[in-house]
A and B are shown apart, each in its own frame.
Chain A
Amino acid sequence: MSQAAVEFQQVTKNYGSGNVLENFNLVIPKEKIVTIIGPSGCGKTTLLKMINRLIEPEAGSVLLGQQDIGELNPVELRRSIGYVIQQIGLFPHMTVEQNISIVPRLKGEKKEHLVARTAELLQLIGLEPEQYRGRYPHELSGGQQQRIGVARALAANPSIILMDEPFSALDPISRVQLQKELIKLNEQVRKTIVFVTHDIDEALKIADIVVLLKGGQVIQQGSPKELLERPAHEFVREFLGQERFQLAYSI
């Protein structure tokens, strides 16, 4: 039985026009790739940003290990959690190396250490360090930029990485490639990855666990296989799409 990396306990979030999440409970297990899917506006981003306190809940608590994150310093908390966003958000005035090492630098780590770390991370994401470390973001393709975004999230060696539709702005080829790399990467470095996506194929392909949300409630949580073989609700079937079920049966 693996421990929980993140746990939502009775969390309620309200932006002022009704509850987006209400008494929401969710356990995210350690060292798994967990994908969050659900219709637009169901609260996926809200849920994700509550883990690094970019959004604060109105009630309830979010636990990191055993710690209530409401009691932690938000800046320290964020430096200990990786964060990758859809718009990538590389700093245009910094080189690849400066972008990747930003969190360790915020934490005041030594220069010598950073150079080695950057090289290591560039290797890990499949970019030749000597060729890429001195480049600026606009000198990279979209796929390469988001690889750097992933490397930046890994730099301070966080145990949790949050990703909000990280690959959805990329072309299909880069997207598939990055999905594969993410799976491989997680076999090497073993992180808890919370991954929000619109792309159901992507969600089923990369996930150890899928969480399907609707209207701020978890409809079903389980392995991709479980969702396909034992949908807990008609909505699961509907949302994942009939053809996938036929496919699952034919296997």
Chain B
Amino acid sequence: MHQLWTTFQASWEVLLEKTQEHIYLSLVSVVLACLIAIPLGIYLSTHRRLANSVITTVSVIQTIPSLALFGFMIPLLGIGPKPAIFALTLYALMPILQNTYVGINGVNPALIEAGKGLGMTRWQLLWIVQLPIARVVIMAGVRLVAVQTISMATIATYIAAGGLGDIITNGMSMMDTPTILLGAIPVSLLVILINILLLQLNRWLTPKGLSDEKTSGQH
């Protein structure tokens, strides 16, 4: 414990910098994945035949071991933050895509019928009915992905993308436990923090009528 404290005092500036890099890698990847997977999920919810093949294809990415995926990036995109973000984004696509698709398709068909019959355009149906009701499910996917991406960003160090993984591998090469911990603890803290933040955000965004489990519009 004492050792950890001295290591922290000696290298807190590096720690701060690496934490910033780590947050940057994770945040950009998750945001990119959302920007791709949510609209794609919405699109696929109205093209069910295409949906099957796209979702299967995207889920194949999930089966590639993460270390190998980062390795594949080197011949394609070289090293540094860019290929790392690319790999992290690829990994993040599936849960968001799947949850968006399932969330939107899970909306009670009676609500779609009512919305259409009352004169909503397709667009209005999406914004007024489908997305607000599916949001809880979509957000669950985003939360999962945020957690997964923060832990996985640790591996980005192997392709020289920075982040807290740098400190951990440094500690490993020196066989210095305090240094390893100095890198690992912030990763865990980040995961816990983002989880609480997103849960809170979700609670805050969820309209009162949907906060009850049984009324999520999915019968």
Chain A residues near B (Cβ < 8 Å): 52, 54, 75-80, 83, 85, 87-95, 102-103, 106, 136-138, 152, 162
- Chain A residues with Cβ under 8 A from B116's Cβ? 54, 78
Give the 5 A-B residue pairs with the shortest CB-CB distance, closest first.
A89-B114, A136-B209, A79-B119, A87-B110, A78-B119
Per-residue 0/1 for B175-217: is the Cβ within 8 Å of any A Cβ (1 yes, 0 no)? 0000000000000000000000000000000011110101111
Any A CB within 8 A of the CB of B118: yes
B122-138 vs A, Cβ < 8 Å mask (1 yes, 0 no): 00100011001100000
Q: Closest CB-CB distance, B212 to chain A, in whole Å?
A: 6
Report A99 CB to chain B, min CB distance, Å.
Answer: 10
Chain A residues with CB under 8 Å of B115's CB are: 89, 91
Residue contact B209 to A93, C-beta cutoff 8 Å: yes
Q: How far is the CA of A120 from the CA of B212 in the complex (A)?
A: 29
CB <8 Å contact, A75 and B111: no
Nearest neighbor of B136 in chain A, beta-carbon distance = A93
Minimal beta-carbon separation of A87 from chain B (angstroms): 4
B17 at the binding interface (Cβ < 8 Å): no
Number of B interface residues in the complex (CB < 8 A): 26
Which one of B133, B210, B214 has the greatest number of beta carbons of chain A within 10 Å?
B210
Asked whether, in the complex, the Cβ of B119 is within 8 Å of the Cβ of A136, the reply is no
Nearest CB in chain B: distance from A84 CB, A: 9
Q: Which of A54, A78, A102, A138 contacts B214 (CB 8 A)?
A: A138
Whether B113 lies near A85 (C-beta < 8 A) is yes
7 more contacts with CB within 8 A, not counting A85-B114, A94-B209, A137-B209, are: A54-B116, A78-B116, A87-B113, A88-B110, A88-B114, A92-B133, A92-B209
Q: Does A102 contact B117, Cβ atoms closer than 8 Å?
A: no
Does B129 contact A75, Cβ atoms closer than 8 Å?
A: no
Contact check, B212 vs A138: say whether CB atoms are below 8 A apart. yes
The CA of A88 and the CA of B113, in the complex, are separated in Å by: 10
Which B-chain residue is minimally distant from A155 (CB atoms)? B118
Partner of B119, one of A103, A138, A162: A103
Q: Can you show 30 pairs from A to B with CB atoms below 8 A apart?
A: A52-B117, A75-B120, A75-B121, A78-B117, A80-B119, A83-B114, A83-B117, A85-B113, A87-B110, A87-B113, A89-B111, A89-B114, A90-B114, A91-B115, A91-B129, A92-B111, A92-B209, A93-B217, A95-B209, A102-B128, A106-B118, A106-B120, A106-B124, A136-B215, A137-B215, A138-B209, A138-B212, A138-B214, A138-B215, A152-B118
CB distance from A121 to the nearest CB of B (A): 15
Query: With the chains together, A75 CA to B125 CA distance in Å?
Result: 12
A residues in contact with B212, CB < 8 Å: 138
The number of A-B residue pairs with CB atoms under 8 Å apart is 77
**A56 CB → nearest B CB, Å:** 13
User: Smallest distance from the beta carbon of B132 to chain A beta carbons, Å?
Assistant: 5
List, in ascending order, chain A residues with CB within 8 A of B216's CB.
92
**CB-CB < 8 A to A95: which residues of B?**
209
Question: A152 — which chain B residues lie within 8 A by C-beta?
Answer: 118
A168 to B216, CA, bound (A): 23
Nearest B residue to A78 via CB reads B119
Residues in B whose Cβ lies below 8 Å from that of A87? 108, 110, 113-114
A162 to B113, alpha carbons, bound, how many Å? 13
* Complex interface: chain A residues within 8 A of B129 (CB): 91
Which of A52, A83, A91 counts the most B-chain CB atoms under 10 A from its CB? A91
**Complex Cα–Cα for A52 and B120 (A):** 12
Most buried by B among A77, A90, A93, A95: A93
Min Cβ gap A152→B in Å is 7
Q: A85-B110, A85-B113 are in contact. Are A92 and B210 (CB under 8 A)?
A: yes
Contacts of A76 in B (CB 8 A): 119
CB-CB under 8 A from B128, the residues of chain A are 91, 102
Bound-state Cα–Cα, A99 to B118, Å: 11
A200-B116 Cα distance, complex, nearest whole Å: 29
**Separation of A87 and B115 alpha carbons in the complex (Å):** 13
